Amino acid sequence: MKYKNRLKVNYNSIKYIDLLSEKSGLHFIHAFNGSGRDGRCGSEKKFSCNSLRYEPLNFFVDAWNEKFRIALEINEKPHYSKQNRKKDYKRKFLLEQQHNLNLIVIPWNENGIIDNEIEIVLDHILFIKHYKTERTD
């Protein structure tokens, strides 16, 4: 049986998201550990944004932490085309402005996250966590 809407998930990226969760002490919801589309496990988190056009734009992020409003997006090869880069810049801006999210874009190649990028991303996550914790205390 063929399924019309198959998941497009980079299964290898999940281990990096879990590693970031473990090292940062934050729980990141992703396609296999929490709710996504329609509250079901097995999909990415959907955000609707208003655009200059009349119809809303829907964006999906690979992982997110609700408490600290941090979203992670793994940029695999298709994200690097000129057309997709334009869409990604617009998505980042709209998500950050309209949903008060900190969208962290993580470069990805065939071998996984690019060397030492995991430490840079972890530093970014910990900075946001510290900053937002201070502001709520």
Q: What is the pLDDT of residues 31-88, one digit of tens each?
A: 777 654 444 444 566 666 666 655 566 777 888 898 999 989 888 766 667 777 787 8
Give the predicted TM-score (pTM) of the model.
0.75
Residue 7 within any structural domain of the chain: no
- Which residues constitute the domain of residue 122? 20-136
Residue 84 within any structural domain of the chain: yes
Residue 15 within any structural domain of the chain: no
Picking from 12, 18, 16, the residue whose alpha carbon sits closest to that of residue 116 is 16
Residue 13 within any structural domain of the chain: no
What is the total count of domains within the chain? 1
Residue 10 within any structural domain of the chain: no
Residue 11 within any structural domain of the chain: no
- Residue 14 CB burial class (10 angstroms; 0-12, 13-18, ≥19): middle
- Angle subtended at Cα 18 by Cα 13 and Cα 21, rounded to the nearest 5 degrees: 130
Q: What is the DSSP letter of 68?
A: T
Taken in order 77, 112, 61, 9, the sign of the CA dihedral is positive
Residue 12 within any structural domain of the chain: no
Residue 68 within any structural domain of the chain: yes
Residue 13, Cα to own-chain centre: how many angstroms?
Answer: 11
